[in-house]
Structure 1
Amino acid sequence: MFLVQFDFSLTKKTMAANISLGSGRTSPYTALYQVILVQVLVSVFLCINLLLISTFSRQEFFYTTMRYILFAVTLLSDSLFLLITDIMYILIYFRFTVQMWLCLIMCIFLSLYTFATPVTLTAMTLERYVAICRPLHHAELCSTRKAVHCILIIHCISSVPFIVIFSIFIDSAAHSFYTENSKCIIDIFIVHKWQSHLWSAISQFYFLIMCIVIVCCYFKIMKVAKGASGENKHLSWKGLRTVALHAFQLLLGLIQLWCPFIEAFVIQINFAMYVNVKYFDYIVFVLAPRCLSPLIYGLRDDRYFRALKHYVLCGMYQTLSENLF
């Protein structure tokens, strides 16, 4: 991912020399247009997320229903992730330096929310599986209290990778390092080559497990959908499409893990091409997956969409009907 993924075959010296988007053979005007495009996309996504979060907070039904609670978690995770990556993007483009303790904090949150969204998507898939395949147990397994426990579990699971990687760095770094000023890139905290391989192995393992869970849920729901009838059939097929979209999001995240290897090969050929490839990876495999969540649960969900339309229109027509919720 742009400014986030580890380029395993590049040394820190090479990264420091080439880190600026305007360096090498890249046109400064092209780099400026790319920065402006990123700011526009991030701003649009953040505004949409904030609007959806605002809608979520205004109706009791949403914040007492597990799937909407998990949806709000993904919106918050994606918003924080986009905000932090954009800050790091701007700092590097304008060649600003920050103290390493602040950079470390940003990288820790970046690592946490890199995994928090796909793990939450997996939890949402399991919730759909229970709702469709185990409807009698849904009220018990997917209560508000269980949703809070689920959020804690999600963040615990998502924190394992950065605890492993950054604890190694913290143990070996000198105290003076944290007060030094430098460009903020996550590669600075990789002090051993095997750390990058460990990070890659953990990431691949996480995504493998999540893909297996989603695929299994997909086939279970599909089996129920084929045997259902009437309203249950419609609900089952709609849940099936939702799980399929979650699978597509995870696929983009999995491809994102392979991007550093492609980028490491490209940089040996042409640095300007490397910058363009890295920028493309950021747009397609970082921004794109995080704009799908609002579409899946914000616009495709009838109940949420009607509430969103009501608040966007500021109640110009009619107040929400009593039977809406």
Structure 2
Amino acid sequence: MAANISLISSGTSPYTVIYQVILVQVLVSVFLCINLLLISTFSKQEYFYTTTRYILFAVTLLSDSLYLLITDIMYILIYFRFTVQMWLCLIMCIFLSLYTFATPVTLTAMTLERYVAICRPLHHAELCSTRKAVHCILIIHCISSVPFIIILSIFIASVAHSFYTENNKCNMDIFVVHSWQSHLRTAISQFYFLIMCIAIVCSYIKIMKVAKCASGENKKSSWKGLRTVALHAFQLLFCLIQLWCPFIEAVISQINVMMYVNIRYFNYITFFLAPRCLSPLIYGLRDDKFFRAVKHYVLCGMYKTWSEE
């Protein structure tokens, strides 16, 4: 996972590396600004922070923003060959692991919310209240923290106390003491994504059945919900491909070092950064109410919001 941000190699052209680092900084900066704008918009409208799907959307924005920030810090540390004490690296890796899983788990929760809204509309107000949304956020973070708690427990039992005060380059691979730990981490990740994929596929099928039987406004709402679930599945697929990257890279590293470095950089941009940048584009800007609110604040109030129409 996060080890893919280790892209520096002695065989890479200095100019190429500089351009790569600049590109990463530009992408991270742009999408952090967009996320902050959307989070600010969310916090200024009461309707948004009292509606479950917008609350979950805000959770996704926060998770993605923290993920982008932490990976960028680790990327810069590796690029400049800085070493840090392992206790500090451990803290960064804990948050990185948490938010690696928080986004796909939240996407699954958003899918289930759309399923309830469309297929169980009479129960939606009860199951998707603001109080239930807070409980849902706690559950999301508890579920997301399980994989690293398992890996961390094994790690703490395997290393001496002096390890935490050592200075070293910071990446997730440092915490894999035994070879079987990487297989365990992969197995846990595959299990998580299998469950999430099943939940999204089942919701898609159920919503599709309702969409075919609906009429008028209900039909329009159902098909819109169906497209939203499809986009959730598309973003989750990108997150799932992250798990396959290490296997592909391991094979390529035995063939050509330069190709290996380039593939790792491509994977980092495409399958690590890109999925985290899709949320504001997919859910924030395609939602009519949210998009109007964003335009209102970007244009300094010259564009009236949906609530004023």
TM-score range relative to shorter protein: over 0.9
Q: CA contact under 8 A between 1:49 and 1:294: conserved in structure 2?
A: yes
Q: CA contact under 8 A between 1:2 and 1:279: conserved in structure 2?
A: no
Give the percent of matched residue pairs that are identical in Structure 1 and Structure 2: 83
Query: Where does residue 109 of structure 1 map in the other structure?
Result: 95
**Of 141, 146, 155, the match for 2:132:** 146
Change (3 A) 1:109 1:4: farther
Structure 1 counterpart SS, 2:255: coil
Tell whether 2:291 aligns with 1:305.
yes
Q: Distance in 2 between matches of 1:22 and 1:201?
A: 29
Provide Cα deviations, 1:271-300, integer angstroms capped at 9, x if missing partner.
111110001101111111111111222111
Structure 1 counterpart SS, 2:177: coil
Query: Where does residue 39 of structure 1 map in the other structure?
Result: 25
Q: How does 1:1-325 map to 2 (within 5 A)?
A: 1=1, 3-4=3-4, 21-23=8-10, 25-317=11-303, 319-320=304-305, 322-324=307-309
Provide Cα deviations, 1:10-61, integer angstroms capped at 9, x if missing partner.
xxxxxxxxx56141x2111111100000000000110000000000000000
Q: Distance in 2 between matches of 1:306 and 1:278?
A: 39
Structure 2 counterpart SS, 1:257: coil
Query: Where does residue 12 of structure 1 map in the other structure?
Result: none
- Structure 2 unaligned blocks of 5 or more: none
Structure 1 counterpart SS, 2:243: helix
Give the paired residue count: 309
Q: Distance in 2 between matches of 1:107 and 1:125?
A: 28
Q: CA contact under 8 A between 1:21 and 1:31: conserved in structure 2?
A: yes
> Alpha-carbon deviation of 1:2?
5.6
Q: Distance in 1 between matches of 2:189 and 2:119?
A: 30
Q: CA contact under 8 A between 2:293 and 2:306: conserved in structure 1?
A: no
> Alpha-carbon deviation of 1:322?
4.3
Q: CA contact under 8 A between 1:4 and 1:85: conserved in structure 2?
A: no
Provide Cα deviations, 1:195-229, integer angstroms capped at 9, x if missing partner.
11000000000000000000000010000001111
Q: Distance in 2 between matches of 1:213 and 1:99?
A: 40
Q: CA contact under 8 A between 1:22 and 1:28: conserved in structure 2?
A: no
Structure 1 counterpart SS, 2:3: coil
> Alpha-carbon deviation of 1:124?
0.1
Change (3 A) 1:38 1:120: same
Q: Distance in 1 between matches of 2:67 and 2:274?
A: 13
Q: TM-score if structure 1 supplies the norm length?
A: 0.93
Q: Distance in 2 between matches of 1:108 and 1:80?
A: 12
Q: CA contact under 8 A between 2:77 and 2:83: conserved in structure 1?
A: yes
Q: CA contact under 8 A between 2:2 and 2:172: conserved in structure 1?
A: no
> Alpha-carbon deviation of 1:323?
4.7
Provide Cα deviations, 1:88-146, integer angstroms capped at 9, x if missing partner.
00000100011100000000000000000000000000000000000000000000000
Structure 1 counterpart SS, 2:92: helix
Q: Distance in 2 between matches of 1:261 and 1:164?
A: 22
Q: In structure 2, give the amino acid aligned to 1:233.
A: K
